[in-house]
Chains A and B, each alone.
Chain A
Amino acid sequence: MNPPLTPIVEVRKLSHSYLVGTELRVDSLREVDFAVSPGETVGLIGPAGSGKSTLLHHLNGLIRPLSGEVRVLGVSISQSSMRMPMVRTRIGLLFQNPENQLFEQFVGDDVAFGPRNMGLSPEEVRRRVRTAMELVGLPFSHKDRQITTLSLGEKRRAALAGVLALEPELLVLDEPTASLDPEGRKRLLRTLGEWRSVEGRALVIASHNMDDIVEMADRVYVLIKGSVVLSGTTRDVFTRADFLLGNGLGVPAATALMHDLSNRGYGVSLNALSDLEAAKEIGRLLRG
């Protein structure tokens, strides 16, 4: 459907192992192919220990590829060691539990950490901090608040603002909604959707929450024991519910409901992913 765009990040046959050369060797990635193009949201799912975080760390060069290739904006990062900080600011990476990684006393200073590292002028830093904070729903006046006075949700939004202030083309998130309350989760996903809607931006989300993935992602990669075992559009991937469940992964709540109904002998389509689709399907069942 979409014209082929140059991917923002392209990963080819990437393998990575820990403890190489010992009997304790762990292969955390095996010949992984992965790509993100401008304008899309890519979901990454896999059981704990499947190599998700390792893959995400490769995307902005925190780990250099041991074998295989990672190309960021057309440049292979195995060769260009000098451009690492540049790469890292164009690919924004937010870790798990980012609220633990805030370190300044005041919110504004923490958000400004990235832009200041980029050596921008004070006015530009200020503009970026304002834009980023407003985008995540923190009023700009919060910049003078002490970080300790923020709630967990606010802290996480402040951390997100810190990454958004880099104005990256690609935002990579590791479990962004973990331990947020439903309200906070909704809000975060809405913010991410808004951010992504700007031309040329892309998003990668790794999550254990399949509903997050269904809500956000256009395409999904399934990583198991370091290999991409399944990839495709979100709908294609989640129609393989049995495969996912058999591999220690979940399915969206709506899909699980459809499977339950089907097992009890109701003739429903198993393709429903969102609540809305499930509701329609049940409505059809009740009427028919």
Chain B
Amino acid sequence: MRSVTWRLRRRLGGCCVAERSEFEFFAKLSIGQYIPTGSVVHRLDPRVKLILGLFLVIAAIMISSIVSALILTVAVILGLRLARVQLRLAFAPLKIMIIFLFILALIQLLTIPQLKTDATVVFQRGVLKITDRSIVSAILLMVRFVVIVLGLSLFSFSTSSSEVIHGIEHLLRPLQRIGFPAHELTLAAHISLHFFPILVGEAEQLMMAQAARGADFGYRKWNFLRKLRKMLPLLVPLFIVSLKHAQNMTRAMESRCYSGGAGRTHYVRLHAQPADYLGLFLGCGVISSAMVVNLLHVDGTVWGLLRELVM
């Protein structure tokens, strides 16, 4: 279920897909999928989404207040709801990372008190020491991470890869004046994105062909070296096939008189509508309000209020 669109894309890439088979590389990959629901978020100009995504990540890294981190989390979850994507899909990658996240938070919790001794000690036993500051930074680490992962999921769920590429190209266009090869770079990125699922399909086909001749890609998960050795025979034909693809692609482009760079017009023209400006305005509003809250240092006050309510 998680990998629905991924598989769909692979099918469109013209390759065969085996259900319940040992030849699936990326079936469990769920980040980077596009889930077309046609929602408001999907229809938003990709440039707006790119800018907001960038701001969101920057804000999530800069903030040091739990309240503003929570504001960002709620905003992203609202965005996911607005995109009409199942929240389950967005949280799926978090489930895989949760253990690492806990370990990282634990390290923060225990090491910060050793380095910064100016905070109030909440708990101490021997060398183990936990301060209020380390608790805050451990929580912040987790919430930050959640915000960034959910934000990226929201972006990729609602923006198709070609929209991303067009958006990036439009945003980079002013840099062309100073000689930055915006078009060429984005074209290269576009082509590699386009070929990725095709190559995955080819790799699967190769694995199946080799398994048909008795190669055992089997279930022995832990024998990494052996597995690696089994993978080597895949690389050579895969490399050859991708070179062939590249050659065909250049020929196809040249036969249509492609020449990059200046003077190219575009089939897809991005025109920001009033709704896009509104989206940009709202998004920036939410993010900057989180920043303002961060500057106001309201955490202590909120904490006190909460304690009074509970008491």
Task: Establish whether residues A85 and B21, one from each chain, have CB atoms under 8 Å apart when the complex forms.
Answer: no
Q: Which residues of A contact B210 (CB under 8 A)?
A: 101, 103, 113
Q: How far is the CB of A48 from chain B (nearest CB, A)?
A: 11
Q: Which residues of B contact A88 (CB under 8 A)?
A: 211-214
Q: Which residues of B contact A54 (CB under 8 A)?
A: 16
Instruction: Kindly state the interface size class of chain A when it binds its partner.
Output: 35 or more
Whether B208 sits at the interface, judged by CB under 8 Å, is yes
Q: Chain A, 86-106, contact with B by CB distance < 8 Å: what is the 0/1 string?
A: 001100111100101111100
Known: A57-B208, A88-B211. A117 touches B216 (CB 8 A): yes
Residue of A nearest to B212 (CB): A93
Q: Chain A, 110-152, contact with B by CB distance < 8 Å: what is the 0/1 string?
A: 0001100110000000000000000000000000000000000
- Cβ-defined partner of B21 (8 Å) among A62, A101, A114: A62
Instruction: Kindly state the interface size class of chain B when it binds its partner.
Output: 20 to 34
Q: Which residues of B contact A16 (CB under 8 A)?
A: 19
A92 to B209, CA, bound (A): 10
Partner-contacting stretch, out of A19-27, A223-231, A246-254: A19-27
A118 to B214, CA, bound (A): 7
Whether A63 sits at the interface, judged by CB under 8 Å, is yes
Task: Establish whether residues B214 and A101, one from each chain, have CB atoms under 8 Å apart when the complex forms.
Answer: no
- Cβ-defined partner of A66 (8 Å) among B7, B20, B240: B20
- Cβ-defined partner of A101 (8 Å) among B11, B18, B209: B209
Residue of A nearest to B239 (CB): A103
Q: Which residues of A contact B209 (CB under 8 A)?
A: 93, 95, 98, 101
Residue of A nearest to B7 (CB): A19
Considering the complex, which residues of chain A in the window 139-187 have a beta carbon less than 8 Å from any beta carbon of chain B? Answer: 162-163, 166
Residue of A nearest to B202 (CB): A100
Whether A17 sits at the interface, judged by CB under 8 Å, is yes
Known: A19-B4, A100-B241, A103-B234. A64 touches B20 (CB 8 A): yes
Residue of A nearest to B235 (CB): A103
A118 to B210, CA, bound (A): 12
Task: Establish whether residues A62 and B214, one from each chain, have CB atoms under 8 Å apart when the complex forms.
Answer: no
Task: Establish whether residues A62 and B213, one from each chain, have CB atoms under 8 Å apart when the complex forms.
Answer: no
Give 30 pairs: A residue, B residue, CB < 8 Å, sorted on A.
A17-B19, A18-B7, A18-B17, A19-B7, A19-B8, A24-B7, A57-B16, A62-B18, A62-B21, A63-B21, A64-B20, A64-B21, A66-B20, A85-B214, A92-B212, A93-B209, A95-B208, A100-B240, A101-B209, A103-B206, A103-B210, A103-B233, A103-B234, A103-B236, A104-B233, A113-B215, A114-B213, A114-B214, A118-B214, A166-B213
Inter-chain pairs besides A22-B4, A62-B211, A114-B213, 12 sampled, C-beta below 8 Å: A24-B4, A62-B208, A63-B20, A66-B19, A66-B20, A88-B211, A88-B214, A95-B209, A103-B234, A103-B237, A117-B215, A162-B213
Footprint of B on A, CB under 8 Å? 16-22, 24, 26, 53-54, 57, 60, 62-64, 66, 84-85, 88-89, 92-95, 98, 100-104, 113-114, 117-118, 162-163, 166
